[in-house]
Amino acid sequence: MSDYPDPTDLLAHRSPFLFCDEITELEPGVSCTALWHLSGEEAFFSGHFPGQPTLPGVLMVEALAQTAGLAALSDGDFTGKLPLFGGIDKARFRRQVIPGETLILKAQLGRMSRMAGRASGVASVNDEVACEAEMMFVIADAVDL
């Protein structure tokens, strides 16, 4: 059992759009490493692509954003807040991710203010980079979830 919070304790996301299964490293307000275990039962695999299931790149970027959200929301200054995408820069996709693989998601927060922030992230499988991106987000007040 992990000493870190469950991702649902911090993120507003829920299945089927919660992509961080567990936190493996966390420095509140600084960085987070999380895992996404891809079983192959996820609905998107049946259509992307039939006979050659591949994780969509946009979902890798979303998973990195959720990991950055875990880093931000674990900092008490952002309790009750909701980080929303403000932009994606320099996204690159380096390898396919297929059913049965575990995506290791690492996000590092950059400059943060009460209203917005920046982060960078790298998603990898077995030490091979699958995706990397820089992200911007705005900080909104969360409604009761």
CATH number for 109:
3.10.129.10
- Work out the number of other CB atoms within 10 angstroms of the CB of residue 35: 17
Question: Which of the residues 18, 21, 22, 48 is marked catalytic?
Answer: 48
Is there a contact between 63 and 36 (Cβ–Cβ < 8 Å)? yes
* In a domain? residue 79: yes
Annotated catalytic residue 13: no
Q: Looking at the domain assignment, is residue 5 inside a domain? A: no
Q: Is residue 122 domain-resident?
A: yes
Domain with 119 in it? 11-141
Give the model's pLDDT for residue 17: 96
Domain count, the chain: 1
- State the pLDDT at residue 1: 54
Contact 4, 18 (CB under 8 A): no
- Give the tens place of pLDDT for each residue, 17-49: 999 999 999 999 999 999 999 999 999 999 999
Quick one: pLDDT at residue 145? 42
In a domain, 46, yes or no: yes
Domain assignment of residue 2, yes or no = no
Write the burial class of residue 88 (CB in 10 Å: 0-12 exposed, 13-18 middle, 19+ buried). middle
Beta bridge partners of 130: none
Other Cβ atoms within 10 Å of 6 Cβ, number: 12
Mean pLDDT for all residues in the chain: 95
